[in-house]
Amino acid sequence: MGLVRYILRRLFTIFVSIVVVIIITYILMWLAPGEFFNIAQFQASGGRVATLTPEQLQVLIKGFEEKYGLNVPLWKQILNYLKDAFRFKFGPSFSNPNEPIEVQIARRFPVTFTLAILSMALAVIVGIPLGVIAALKRNTWVDYITMFFSMAGSIIPAYTIGVIMVLIFSVWLRVLPTSGWETPKQMIMPVICVALGPMAVIARFMRSSLLDVLNQDYIRTAYAKGGTDRAVIMRHALRNSLIPIVTIIGPQLAFLFTGTVWIENLFRVPGLGQLFVNAASMRDYPLLVTSTFILSLSVMLMNLLVDVIYAFLDPRIKYE
Amino acid sequence: MSKKGLIVLLVLVSVLLLSGVVNGQKERVVSLPFWDVPGLIPYYWQAQHILAQGTIFEGLFGYAPDPGGLGGVKVVPVIAQSYRVSKDYKVWTFKLRRDKKWSNGDPVTARDFEWSFKYYASPKIPDLPAWAGPHQFIENFWAVKSGAMDPDKLGVKALDDYTLEIRLATPRYDMREWLCVAQGVPIHRKSVEADPQNWWRPGKIVVNGPYIPVSWTPGKDMVLVKNPNYVGERGNVDKIVLKFGGLGLQQYMAGELDAAMINSVAEYRFVLADPKLSKEFHEDVMDCFWNGYQWSRGFDPIMDNIKLRQALAMAIDREKLCKDVLGGRAIPLNKYWPDRNPIGDKMKGIPFDVKRAQQLLAEAGYPGGKGLKTLVFYITGGGDPVVEFIVDQWKKNLGINVIIENVESGLYWNSYVWPNFSPDAKAGFTVIGAPMNNLEIGALMKNSDHTVWFYDFPTSARKKRHELYQEYDAWLRKTCGLTEADWKPLLEKRNTLYAGFKKIIDSEPEKLWVADLTRPPLWYDQFDELYEKWKTAKTNEEKTNYWRLAGRVLTDQEGFQLWYNNLSPESKQAYRWRYRTINRPFSEAVKIAHYALQLMQDRYYMVPVYLAKAQWVKSPKLEGLMLYKFSWGPGFFNFKYLNLKD
Amino acid sequence: MEVALKQRRRGTSYWAAAWRRFKKNKMAVAGLIYIIIIIIISIFTPWIAPYPYDEPHYAHTFEKPSARFWWGTDDLGRDMFSRNLYAMRNALLIGFGSQIVVLIIGVIIGSIAGFRGGRIDTILMRITDIMYAFPTFLFNVILVTVMGRGLFTILVAVGLTGWAGMARLVRGMVMYLKNAEFVEAARALGAKEGYIIRKYILPNMLGPIIVSLAFGIPNGIWIESGLALIGMGVRPPMPSWGNMIGAGVAYIMAFPHMVIFPVLTFALTLLAFTYVGDGLRDALNPRSEV
């Protein structure tokens, strides 16, 4: 009961926050130098529109504004956008007039979702043991080496690692295809590249969380009661130290929804990141606003989900 | 013969037979790199427009390979069988082939063209990039597009099933060339009307080209298969897989692509060093572009100094740039068209002459670069070795300081490179890779006609003209015009402008230019008509509207007169030559295009520096691969000639 | 937290103990030494670098490492070693600069919210929440678009989008500290609010703030490299790791030195900061979670 009220209240906060975020985005675009709102086809023309008379140009601009709902004042554009956005209708983008953005998102979402889940699974499967090992062997060379490599993997830009992997596995060894997204073989390299970042985060987090738990009084008590090392750790420490991991998996997942763009381009993975990343630099305003919308929504929902799960796992936490 | 021998023989024979059979039935698949296609609607200026030119769609005319031709192509009839054109080049009549079919078996007729062209022109497609296609020239197109006229009034008519008549608003000598582009193809009426939103999706789309798209994933790939109902010349490839993005050369080396573009010096050197790849290497010059720099479109008067412009253009070692910085992936270019080209051969290049450049700079008032303010070179992206080289040359050879300023790409293209004016820009430059969008006469100028339109008059007039452009927009928001008093200043202005206009008409020697200026509806007739309409208008809203439109007509004319009267004599002459060029058939136009180009080049506002090469590797088995050399290029297109050798 | 406070009351020995704990972490010490070295190098870069970062040598483009060009040259024949040094300097400027912005905004908003409480707190925290949820990278892109490119704008943009965490941290601490026993005691003894803040609250907040900043620096560097990759980083010819790596990857087939050196220095620097952050966290704040 408390839970339902809590979730409803959080959902309302999310709604308000998103409205504010969208308004800020619009204002920022409006402030930006140059035109954001009626420009797409003129940059594409490579100077061709210069041959048109002002009157002809006016016809084109009018048609363009009509298609994208730009023929009303800014505040109304924002209102119209919000009204449609919460029903997941975003209209077409400048860079792709062929189909509405929601169709593009619907097609790309499963790919990104699969990529994100697979990578996260890999990151968890590898990251947690790494963190545990590092924590148990705290301040030994095992700790240093595992931490060093997992962190290095997350810090070297994944794109660079990807290119090197392609050279090694596809061009020289010829064991993996360079790119694509159908067969499991094609998925190996992109998943590894994407997993490196969260893997390091999880390993580090796991390490410090486990160390933290190992320092707690009840673990010391367990030791005192005469439990063997391993049993103590398995039973108490590990379970309790896993709880905070949940908090970082959520935001990391939300981040993966768009943070994978370089990898997507490199491996021809038709995901969301590809769609969103150029929106700002190409001044594709419908896409820019929509990506802001989707991103902030998913981050906020993920955080909510994490808080709820967290509360289930750790009964000490109460919903305020 | 022993039993064993017999069995061996049998096995051998059957293997041979089987392999023969398998070979005979084996699908011939070609994988190629391609631009990321966001949809298949042919008329949008998206990657699919290249696909629509002869691969999945066909129009009346199309491109065929021609190594000697501009853009490596020649124009050949595809669906058209023959054509007739009226003396004034305004009425074109095409006879169509009778054997062409849609992929569902329906015949391709003149009615398909009529319906499609009217559909493109109708307000149903509000965002048609009309500047990219032939419709902009068709009679009544603009009135139809704005919704003021019924689409049926468009000057396109099927006289019978296999005769199409196109009437134009102005003479156009290059309609055949224009009809090759994506907006010149018909779409299948029944399937479009059945599902206007989704008719173009693979699996649904009905095409008339040699290949049918069967699957498509944006950001990944598209699969095309042979159209069984296609009639006409084509290669033997059964299936084409177009892959979007990724690492091209690496995919090629891994055997996943049959051809790949070479994108950097590193790849180029790598390919040359590899014994196998170097044999599969090809290159061609992107002669439909020129790459270089243009002066900024801002209002700083120091840009009015032609000697300064000339000095800078002459102080760049183009050979060194191409050899050392571009690593042999470009050829030096000191005129808009290169040597060994029908236009380029007749043009004079800008010399690399440091002495003369220094002298010119001194004559310009900046001996040794002294006294000249710091100029700004606008670029976008992380950095540009070409710009850094040019800036370095100017510093070394002329002692001029230029700083490089990075602008975010959306702003850069719209507000610095291609706008009419960029009020925010300081005195300086942007890079420019000026393309021909497609084969047509106007594009022979390769956008250097911006010199006439937006550069070659004093920056003070440039500023004034920019203000008039803004006023032109501002008229739409003015609220007034309900009384005669509001009209008074307009009527006075009309008369002054009329006098100015008459003077221009009477003194301009080029008849073609005068004809263009006096083509009805004339601005003053429009104005008078609006005034009359205003008098009889009933509502205030209508009145304001007529008043606004009249105000716009005057502002437009004022802008024109300002431009004409301030234009340098050389640019006026260039523009006259431009008129002469575009008013003759394509093959004739090519012969005289250099006059206008030379005059514009000699104003040194838009300065050619190098010409990029297209380089690629290709499987030796693959034949008939055509390079796309126009805007968007380099890439591959027109896949109907693809052939796989066994 | 409690430990920190207890230590605080024992005076300077808190910092001595922290330093002892920090020294135990060998990687953190190594990282600290590395960072001190690169800071010194960065201060003296113009004198240390063998060539100016923008000096081209057209006869020596794409050269492999040699005695003349220690780390080879790039597409304009510019010395990769010198460019790396300048890129490092820029990265440090952005890293530290952005954290100063974060510090200023975060401390102001966090402490106001924490001290005042009530409606002001609610409003400020809602704003912070929104900042938290706002897609940082996108916001940065927009900010750079609006404000124009350049070192200063980028560090401001990175700072402007990164203060939410700091504000939350400061608010939490202020709320805790203002009701802490020793503060109450001081108040009971008649100390003025300003004195309490200066003498008790600020010093106690220092530890966690330093830790947060230590993690913020590599983050700022990372964001800049991301911006540079899409062409919105510092202004060329000024080098930055992001655009050196972005450009270098294209040349990996024939000139791997163009990407290996920037990647290595970039990764090492970020690692060093992360290690130091870890070390500081363990040392200053031994029982915190993050």
Q: Indicate the pTM of the whole model.
A: 0.86
Give B215's pLDDT tier (boundaries 50, 70, 90).
very high
Of C130, C245, C249, the CB nearest to A21: C130
Please give the Cα distance from B130 to A59 (Å, whole number).
10
Q: Give the model's pLDDT for residue C288.
A: 42
In terms of C-beta distances under 8 Å and separation of at least 24 residues, what long-range contacts does B200-205 make, across chains too? Answer: B200/A98, B200/B39, B200/B40, B200/B41, B201/B40, B202/B40, B205/B40, B205/B56
Residue C179, classed as helix, strand or coil, is: coil
What average pLDDT does this structure show over B83-92? 95
pLDDT per residue over C247-278, tens digit each? 888 788 788 888 889 988 988 998 898 888 88
Q: Give the model's pLDDT for residue A148.
A: 84
Q: Give the model's pLDDT for residue C174.
A: 83
pLDDT per residue over B134-158, tens digit each? 999 999 999 999 999 999 999 999 9
CATH number, position C176: 1.10.3720.10
Burial readout C149-166 (b: 16 or more C-beta within 10 A, e: otherwise)? bbbebbbbbbbbbbbbbb
Whether C219 shows a pLDDT value over 90: the answer reads no
Residue C4 lies in a domain: no
Average pLDDT, chain C: 82
Torsion sign across C-alpha atoms C257, C263, C266, C272: negative
In terms of C-beta distances under 8 Å and separation of at least 24 residues, what long-range contacts does C56-63 make, across chains too? Answer: C56/B388, C56/B389, C56/B392, C58/B320, C58/B324, C58/B325, C58/B389, C59/B324, C61/B324, C61/B325, C61/B327, C62/B265, C62/B266, C62/B269, C62/B327, C62/C251, C62/C254, C62/C255, C62/C258
Of C58, C59, C243, the CB nearest to B383: C243
pLDDT per residue over A119-164, tens digit each? 999 999 999 899 888 888 877 888 888 888 888 887 887 888 888 8
Burial readout B115-148 (b: 16 or more C-beta within 10 A, e: otherwise)? bbbbbbbbbebbbbbbbbbbbbbbbbbbbbbbee
Q: Give the model's pLDDT for residue A41.
A: 56
Rounded to two decimals, the ipTM of the complex is 0.85
Chain C residue whose CA is closest to B385: C76
Please give the Cα distance from C281 to C289 (Å, whole number).
9
Please give the Cα distance from B54 to B40 (Å, whole number).
14
- The proportion of chain C whose per-residue pLDDT surpasses 90, expressed as a percent, equals 16
DSSP B263-274: -SHHHHHHHHHS
CB–CB of A299 and C253 under 8 A? no
Most confident segment among B293-297, C94-98, C162-166:
B293-297
Q: How many domains does chain C have?
A: 1
pLDDT per residue over B588-598, tens digit each? 999 999 999 99
What is the interface size between B and C, counted as CB pairs within 8 Å? 80
Q: Which of C149, C223, C220 is nearest to A32 (CA)?
A: C149
pLDDT per residue over B190-209, tens digit each? 999 999 999 999 999 999 99
CA distance B252 to chain C (A): 14
Q: Give the per-residue SS3 of B394-422.
A: HHHHHCCCEEEEECCHHHHHHHHHCCCCC
Residues 6+ apart with CB under 8 A from B230: B101, B103, B208, B209, B210
Q: Which helix (H) or strand (E) holds A219?
A: helix A217-224
Average pLDDT, chain A: 81
Measured CA to CA in angstroms, residue B369 lies from B362, B395, B427 at distances of 8, 9, 15
Give chain A positions within 8 Å (CB) of B629.
Answer: none
- The proportion of chain B whose per-residue pLDDT surpasses 90, expressed as a percent, equals 79
CB–CB of A258 and C135 under 8 A? yes
Inform me whether the C-beta atom of residue B409 falls under 8 Å from chain C C-beta atoms.
Answer: yes
Residues 6+ apart with CB under 8 A from B349: B334, B335
Residue C149 lies in a domain: yes
CA angle B288, B409, A80 (to 5 degrees): 115
CA distance A249 to chain B (A): 27
Q: Which of B43, B46, B48, B69 is nearest to B439 (CA)?
A: B69
Please give the Cα distance from B146 to B283 (Å, whole number).
45
Chain B residue whose CA is closest to C241: B382
CB–CB of B247 and A166 under 8 A? yes
**Tokens linked to B71:** 């853009």
Whether B230 shows a pLDDT value over 50: the answer reads yes
Q: Give the model's pLDDT for residue B51.
A: 95
What average pLDDT does this structure show over B362-385? 89
Domain locations along chain A: 107-281
**Tokens linked to B199:** 């008719």
Q: Give the model's pLDDT for residue C56.
A: 83
CA distance C245 to chain B (A): 11
Give chain C positions within 8 Å (CB) of B273.
Answer: 254
Q: Which helix (H) or strand (E) holds B157?
A: strand B156-160
Q: A: neighbours with 3+ CB pairs under 8 Å? A: B, C
Residue B480, classed as helix, strand or coil, is: coil
pLDDT per residue over B615-630, tens digit each? 999 999 999 999 999 9
Residues 6+ apart with CB under 8 A from B467: none
Give the HSE-up count for residue B500: Cα atoms under 13 Å, Cβ half-sphere.
Answer: 18
Q: Give the model's pLDDT for residue C289.
A: 36
Residue B233: is it exposed, middle or buried by C-beta count within 10 angstroms (0-12/13-18/19+)? exposed
Residue C203: other Cβ atoms inside 10 A: 12
**Tokens linked to B363:** 């004559």
pLDDT per residue over C149-165, tens digit each? 778 888 888 888 888 88
Give A259's pLDDT tier (boundaries 50, 70, 90).
low
Please give the Cα distance from B442 to C168 (Å, whole number).
62
Q: Give the model's pLDDT for residue A263.
A: 84
What average pLDDT does this structure show over A51-79? 86
**Tokens linked to A169:** 């596995």
CA distance C12 to chain A (A): 25
Chain C residue whose CA is closest to B326: C75
Measured CA to CA in angstroms, residue C49 lies from C63, C83, C86, C88 at distances of 18, 8, 8, 12
Whether C225 shows a pLDDT value over 90: the answer reads no
Residue C153 lies in a domain: yes
DSSP code, position C64:
P
Q: Give the model's pLDDT for residue C130.
A: 79
Most confident segment among A23-37, B108-122, C65-79:
B108-122
Q: A107-281: which CATH topology?
A: MetI-like fold (1.10.3720)
Q: Which of B207, B200, B193, B171 is nearest to B91 (CA)?
A: B171
Residues 6+ apart with CB under 8 A from C16: none
Q: Cis peptide leading into B521, omega within 30 of 0?
A: yes
Please give the Cα distance from B300 to B318 (Å, whole number).
27
Give A1's pLDDT tier (boundaries 50, 70, 90).
low
Measured CA to CA in angstroms, residue C242 lies from A127, B245, C237 at distances of 27, 21, 13
Pairing of strands B375-379, B402-406: parallel
CA distance B464 to chain A (A): 16
pLDDT per residue over B435-481, tens digit each? 899 999 999 999 999 999 999 999 999 999 999 988 988 888 888 88
Residue tagged 């030096």 (tokens): B332
Whether B287 shows a pLDDT value over 70: the answer reads yes
Give chain A positions within 8 Å (CB) of B45.
Answer: 41, 44-45
Domain of residue C146, residue span: 34-43+80-283
Please give the Cα distance from A240 to A237 (Å, whole number).
5
Torsion sign across C-alpha atoms B86, B89, B93, B96: positive
Asked if B222 and B242 touch (Cβ cutoff 8 Å), the reply is: yes
Asked if B205 and B40 touch (Cβ cutoff 8 Å), the reply is: yes
Amino acid at B630: F
Of A157, A208, A209, the CB nearest to C245: A157
Q: Give the model's pLDDT for residue B219.
A: 86
